[in-house]
Structure 1
Amino acid sequence: MPTLHFRSFLLLLAAVSIAFISILLPFYPAIFWGGVLAVIFRPLYRRLLRAVGGNSPSLAAFLTVLCITLIVILPMLFIAGALANEVAGLYTRINSGQLNLGVYYEQIVGALPPSVHGWLDSFGVGDLLSIREKLSTGALQASQFLAKQAVNIGQNTFQFVVGLGIMLYLLFFLLRDGAAIVPKLKRLIPLEDSHRHGLFQKFATVVRATVKGNIVIAATQGLLGGLMFAFLGIQGSLFWGVMMAFLSLLPAVGASLIWVPVAIYFLVTGALWEGVVLILFGVLVIGLLDNLLRPILVGKDTKLPDYVVLISTLGGLSVFGLNGFVIGPLFAALFIACWDLFPDAVAQHQQGLRDIRPTESPDSPPERLPR
């Protein structure tokens, strides 16, 4: 192909690609999660395909989508509906003054010995009136934000249903035709076969590790924490359980940001057995759950460093919203994988340059013709 024709084709390819991506952008969460679920449930699809005889990929894909709907989507919709009702009740209690974090803080500080008050004053947290107002204002603003998000979800029900339908529709074809789609995608990447295989393998591994591992661990910690809160008679146990599950996605801190302050409140206000039970449960059950389940669900070889997971998760959430808890670690893992491949790529490039040598050095004298 002549150079002008090739450049014109590249320009046309870039233009239609940008136009097509701009069309898909409004539905990128549905497309993204369709791909993620296809990667995660690919083993289930293969088992179902073998169960139906291996000759009906459409039936196996349909059964896989049905299983995903029953065990993932419907429970999440039920929890989301119950959580919206609980958030509305929480907002009502905070707005009416029935729930006041400032009062709880004042009760905690008031139960501490006088020597601790001076230590709190040195850190600027001893002004009860100021701290109480800040906590009350912060709790009210947070409840208003959550209530607003619940209202927005209710108002965008049609868009949510459309996105859910697109995700399930795309998921069906990704499961059924994934074996043919992946090789075509690999051909589009101008890299060595080993590098392309490594990047695709890293992508699938990180997606499975992030979603299968982190979400299952976070959901288990949130479930157990919410049940313990309900057992101790704490109002809004579902809401606090969801908050613990969400915070469990962040390494190092996790669910302790929720249950530790509650345990301290129990101890300093005289509810000793509640505080001791919550501390023991948080340390021995919630805290150790990550160490027990992560090697089983994720594996040691696929685990990113905790500081990378923390930074990439927070950055992904700030840039991509809720989808960022998967996109952030995914980009971080691909970044590390690409830089791991960089020395090999440079070495192969240099070897290729050495192999392409002129047969005669430019500085050598010209060959003499025979007389």
Structure 2
Amino acid sequence: MREKLEQRSFLFTLLLVSLLFGLVLKPFWGAIFWACAITVIFSPLQHRILGRIGHKPNRAALLTLLVCVVIVVLPVLFIATSFIQEGLALYQRIDQGEVSPGKLLTQVRNAFPLLPDLLGQLGINLDSAKLSETALAGSKVLAEKALTAGQSTFGFVVDVALMLYLAFFLLRDGNQLTELMVRALPLGDDRERMLFAKFSEVTRATVKGNILVAMAQGALGGFIFWVLGIPGPLLWGVVMAFLSLIPAIGAALVWLPVAIYLFATGEWLSGAVLVAFGALVIGLADNVLRPLLVGRDTKLPDYLVLFSTLGGISLMGVNGFVIGPLVAALFLVFWDIFTREFNGR
């Protein structure tokens, strides 16, 4: 009796301490998650480097991180800086009246009289005054954010530094940590190895696949905007890249309204070119690359990738585009194990 009480008390205390430890690490969950993702993605490169330089784990982990910084971190910082600069310039033009959202909307309404009624049935009210007020409010908010950009930049740099610091140790000691977790978790060693393998497979496929699709769609969208002379092609290219994390409809949320505006202002050729390019080229990048890079490697149906991605983003923000499909894949693995081992029929 006393032994059972001690065991239950220990398990309760273990659970409580683990929850408290999770709360302590809560501010750094983003950095921890992306450090794990970097480790999973670049571990094949690290093993290849180890094969070249011999058993020198510290040097191999450091070289792998340097490659990651050069091909991932620095380009992201450059694009983010350019995006902020173009975004500020655009909002300053709105704030100074050089660009009038209300005027643009009036042109669209005059060219397509049925559009307001159609959107009204969907619960979308095209009010020029409200749109102008919203745009001005957005410009003011962005200006206020710009004043505190130094603090935000410092926090971002700290998160990146923590991510790279942790990724170094995960790259160096990842195999030992995995074996430690296999011994510690009471799920059965074979099941745990299967789950860790699935975690690595889905994380690598989701991050690499979605980022490649986002880069392709953002680059194509920015290119066609630049060709057609639309202001801020880099800004809108980055926006399309972010929105392309939403399967099927992401980039169209940008290029389709712009195409409608071009038609409304009488630029029929530019509008037709943008629609054709968006539907055939940008859309093709999503319809072809995403199933090949994400669905095939994660072994998830396309509809499950869509719903898990949307659900993950709505719950967890930008990290959800990886965590959502990961949870879906682990859900299927757990039920597969249950079906085979506990319900043999």
Structure number with the higher helix fraction is: 2
Q: Where does residue 105 of structure 2 map in the other structure?
A: 105
Selected match of 2:193 from 190, 197, 200:
197
Distance 1:178 1:221, change over 3 A: same
Which residue pairs with 1:356 in the alignment? none
Answer whether contact 2:295 2:305 (CA < 8 A) is retained. Answer: no
Shift, 1:231, TM fit = 2.0
CA contact (8 A) 1:251 1:306 kept: no
Q: Cα distance, 1:36 vs. partner?
A: 0.8
Whole-Å Cα distance in 1 between the matches of residues 162 and 138 of structure 2? 32
Uncovered stretches (5+) of structure 1, i.e. residues with no partner = 351-371
For the 8 Å contact 2:40–2:203, the answer to whether it is kept is: yes
> Which range moved further: 206-215 or 287-296?
287-296
Q: TM-score, normalised by structure 1?
A: 0.83
In structure 2, C-alpha distance between the alignment counterparts of 1:86 and 1:163, rounded to whole Å: 24
Tell me which residue corresponds to 1:357: none
Q: Which residue in 2 is equivalent to 1:364?
A: none
**Aligned residues of 1:84 and 1:150 also touching (Cα < 8 A):** no
- Cα RMSD (Å): 2.6
Aligned-pair CA distance for 1:141: 4.2
| Pair 1:252-2:252 in alignment | no
Contact 1:91 1:143 in 2 (8 A): yes
Q: Which residue of 1 aligns with 2:82?
A: 82
TM-score (normalizing by structure 2): 0.89
Larger radius of gyration: 1
- Deviation of residue 278 (structure 1)? 1.5
2:71 aligns with 71
CA–CA separation in structure 1 for the residues paired with 2:118 and 2:247: 30
Query: Is the Cα–Cα contact under 8 Å of residues 217 and 241 in structure 2 kept in the other structure?
Result: yes
Equivalent-residue separation in structure 1 for 2:290 and 2:311 (angstroms) = 22
Q: Which residue of 2 aligns with 1:275?
A: 271
Q: Matched residues in 1 for 2:208 and 2:146: separation? A: 26
Moved more, 310-319 or 176-185: 310-319
What are the residue-to-residue correspondences of 1:207-222 with 2, within 5 Å?
Answer: 207-222=203-218
- Seq. identity, %: 52
Q: Residues 297 and 72 from structure 1, CA distance in 2 versus in 1: closer, same or farther, beyond 3 angstroms? A: same
Deviation at 1:301, TM superposition (A): 5.0
Distance 2:236 2:147 in 1: 20
282, 285, 291: which one aligns with 1:286: 282
The number of aligned residues is 341
Contact 1:226–1:241 under 8 Å retained in 2: yes
* CA displacement 1:108-148 (0-9 Å, x = unmatched): 23234xxxx357547648xxx96222332343444455555
Matched, 1:11 2:7: no
2:88 is the alignment partner of 1:92: no
Distance 1:82 1:317, change over 3 A: same
Query: What is the aligned counterpart of 1:158 among 154, 160, 163?
Result: 154
Q: CA deviation at 1:32?
A: 1.0
Q: Structure 2: which 5+ runs fail to align?
A: none
Secondary structure (helix, strand or coil) at the match of 2:287 reads helix
- Say if 1:160 and 1:108 are closer, same or farther in 2 by CA, change over 3 A: closer
Query: Cα gap change, 1:35/1:122 in structure 2, threshold over 3 Å: closer, same or farther?
Result: closer
Q: Measure the CA separation in 2 of the matches of 1:272 and 1:225.
A: 18
Q: Distance in 1 between matches of 2:319 and 2:143?
A: 20
Q: How far apart are 1:96 and its partner, in Å?
A: 2.2
